[in-house]
Amino acid sequence: MRNLLASGHRGCAGCCNAMAAKFTLMAAGEDCIVVSPTGCLEVMTTPYPESSWGVPWIHSLFENAAAVASGVEAALKAMGKAEKTKVLVIGGDGATIDIGIRSISGAFERGHDITYVCVDNEAYMNTGVQRSGGTPFDASTTTSPAGKVSFGNQRPKKNMPAIIVAHGSPYVATASLAYPKDMIRKIRAAIDTKGPTYVHVHSPCTTGWGFDTSKTVEVARLAVETAMWPMYEIENGRVIKVHKIKEQKPVEDYLKMQRRFKHLFTMEGGDEEIKKIQHIADTNVEEFGLIK
Amino acid sequence: MTSTRKLAKEKMMVVEGSYAVAHAVKVCRPNVISAYPITPQTHIVEDLSQFMADGEIPNCEYINVESEFSALSALVGASAAGARTYSATTSQGLELMHEVLFNVSGMRLPIVMTVANRAVSAPINIWNDQQDSISQRDTGWIQMHAEDPQEAADMVAQSFRIAEDRDVLLPVMPCMDAFVLSHVYEPMVLLEQDLVDEYLPPFEPEFVLDPKNPRTFGAFADPSTYTEFRYLQAKAMDKALEKVEEAANEFNEVFGRYYGGLIDEYEEEDAEIVIVAMGSIIGTVKDVIDKLRSKGEKVGLLKVRSFRPFPIEAVRKALKDARVIVVLDKNISMGLNEGALCTEIKACLYNTDIDAPVIGFMIGHGGRDVPPSTINHIIDQARDVMSSGITVESQFTDVREELI
């Protein structure tokens, strides 16, 4: 399989975006056009006059990637090239869940034949780890810092896959960087499904979350094993497949590896907060039937 | 060259200005149209939608987007993929696009988008002035203003010619005054397909999104290269000055109609008082000038057709013998208390030998009617300036004192 994302880009060691983009291109192959919104991936792969992209790639603005992809798809259709060339978006959680949600909603409602891959590292990493709608409960970020009277971000993650399902997307899946074969299979399935499809990839950020650069995959795997990140596939609104967990690990195993949750282990009342997070994981187990 | 209009009677039809524009778009063979409805642009996009529904625009996709922001964003992708692209908008919609406007011109995408000029909120007002497009002055779009519906339609074909020229590659915003031009029914000639095919070559961009030859669009430029991107964009605008003229001249050769290139002049040669204006107000000004000329008064008109690029040399040449210059602006730059055209005219006369007084009138805001009596009143004031000098440099026109 040819690597379509050249090395030498400016990503951090252990960067989740580099892995996510590489796996996505492994799934898509050469005959695709990729749209990326503003973010780490765009900045690290395209410092003019260099580019890591081995496929045609376009970046316009932060909040319009899905609209740009709509236009690319429409142009291919108008010029008779739509059947073979696939149109993908690879964008971060801020560009997807927050600022770009209008253009995504429009593109999915209109039914363009595009596949949207959200690389969710749960905060605005490119600008210095600010809180996004994808930031989990109690995570400390630079705009939701833990402090004397705060345990960090006080809201749960926005459930973007559910929002996409509500748009009538024929294929929605969640994936994790710790399971690349599964991720590649899901992205391929999304591409092969006609219409607007969506894969939401849980993507630990070494810099923003505060863990060793060698631990990206380990942290990602723990999110799945603790049920903090449920993996499932939804076809036409119905859950068709769930990634089962043999033995659910306690959320502490996941939290304690990350600087963004460190305060929960040092602040008074932190143990109560961890119980709340365990409840989030347990609710995931229940909702998706994650335990074998 | 002065304006000429070959309008063969047997070809003339009474149609709405918006229909003539939509028809012009159709015969320009667009590949992707993307638009969001907003009064008074709606008739243009409704007519285009009907053409689509009737299968009259081959090899074309129409995207019904969820906002103006996405209307233009979709065209970014479509144009980069090699499609000829079109949109239309106005007022709030154009302001919502502000960020995308810069992006389009910076990426050098030759998108054409008609603006049906309308006032901006608040207070909300759907009627005509030109605040919307004037406020987009520095976004890097070529901005042209039509005087009547026929010119607005013909300007669409000219816009594609200018935009797609490889020496230019910049987006073009052909502007038409809301309602006054967009909703008026007049006898017009609809652009003929065979002549448009002769006038406008197919869009064949050098760089496109193509898996066979993968390229990166929209890379980021750091301080070591950003200046050069801006410089090249500015150079392309300079180049557009001659291309606007060329597009108008060749349009005249093919269609027999000419409305000026960068500018047009009317009774201007020996004029002592020269009125400078853009858009539909030109017709009223011409009527007033005709009456005054019949009485032997030396009043003329300078029509600015291209607001960006601004035709500095052409304007200087046209105004060199004027004794008083009167600028009409359907916009206002708040805090400067004058319209943008007035500022531009004054700026381009600086560092020249032309020292005629320039007086500005902000006029016709939010659709306020501009009758000939208002123009006559302005000319009265210009005469006073000619005899006794400037007292007020720039002022609002027809303010209803009883409401203040």
The pLDDT tens digits for A99-108 are 999 999 999 9
A26 touches chain B (CB under 8 A): no
What DSSP assignment string belongs to B18-69? Answer: HHHHHHHHHHT--SEEEE---TTTHHHHHHHHHHHHTT-STT-EEEE-SSHH
Residue type, B13: M
Nearest-Cα residue of chain A relative to residue B217: A58
Which residues 168-227 of B are in CB contact (within 8 Å) with A? 209-211, 213-222, 225
A113 in contact with B at a CB cutoff of 8 Å? Answer: no
Give the pLDDT score at A83.
78
Considering only CB atoms, A71 lies closest to which of B67, B75, B107, namely B75
Give the C-alpha separation, B59 to B62, whole Å. 10
Dist CA A7 CA A15 (whole Å):
12
Name the pTM for this structure.
0.97
> Measured between CB atoms, which of B32, B67, B214 is closest to A74?
B32
Q: How far is CA B253 from CA A123, A200, B4, B202, B304, in A?
A: 59, 57, 11, 19, 22
Asked if B74 reaches chain A (Cβ–Cβ under 8 Å), the answer is: yes
**Per-residue pLDDT band at A1 (split at 50, 70, 90):** low
Which string of DSSP letters, residue by residue, matches A182-230?
HHHHHHHHHHHSSS-EEEEEE---IIIII--TT-HHHHHHHHHHTTSS-
Query: Which of B73, B139, B215 is the best substitution to test chain A (most A C-beta atoms within 10 A)?
Result: B73
Nearest C-alpha in A relative to B85: A75
The pLDDT of residue B7 is: 77
- Are A58 and B76 an interchain contact pair (Cβ–Cβ within 8 Å)? yes
Distance from CA of A107 to the nearest CA of B (A): 8
Rg of chain B (C-alpha set): 21
CB contact under 8 A, B99 and A61: yes
Q: Are B66 and A105 an interchain contact pair (Cβ–Cβ within 8 Å)?
A: yes
Cβ of A57 within 8 Å of Cβ of B217? The answer is yes
Token readout for B97 is 């696009």
Rounded Cα distance between B68 and B88, Å, is: 9
Is A2's Cβ below 8 Å from some Cβ in B? no
Q: What is the amino acid identity at position A34?
A: V
A137 touches chain B (CB under 8 A): no
Q: Are B361 and B397 in contact (CB under 8 A)?
A: yes
- At A86-129, the pLDDT tens digits run 999 999 999 999 999 999 999 999 999 999 999 999 999 999 99
The predicted pLDDT at position B8 comes to 81
DSSP B82: T
Of B59, B100, B222, the CB nearest to A64: B100
How far, in Å, CA of B240 to CA of B361, rounded? 29
Over residues A156-210, the pLDDT tens digits come to 999 999 999 999 999 999 999 999 999 999 999 999 999 999 999 999 999 999 9
CB of A272 within 8 Å of a chain B CB? The answer is no
- List the 73-102 stretch of A: residues with Cβ below 8 A of B: 73-80, 85, 102
Do the interacting molecules here have an ipTM over 0.95?
yes
Question: Based on the number of CB atoms within 10 Å of its own CB, is A48 exposed (0-12), middle (13-18) or buried (19 or more)?
Answer: middle
Considering chain A, what percentage of its residues have pLDDT values greater than 70?
100
Look at residue A2 in the predicted model and tell me its pLDDT.
Answer: 75
Task: Give me the phi and psi of B396, to 5 degrees please.
Answer: -70, 155
Give the per-residue pLDDT at B9: 85
Residues of chain B in contact with residue A63, where contact means CB-CB under 8 angstroms, are 69
Q: Do B73 and A68 touch (CB under 8 A)?
A: yes
pLDDT band at A220 (very low <50, low <70, confident <90, very high): very high
Q: Of B166, B154, B77, give the one whose Cα is nearest residue B114.
A: B154
Mean pLDDT by runs of 10 across the 404 residues of chain B is 76 96 98 98 98 98 98 98 98 98 98 98 98 98 98 98 98 98 97 98 97 97 98 98 98 97 96 98 98 98 98 97 98 97 97 96 97 98 96 96 96
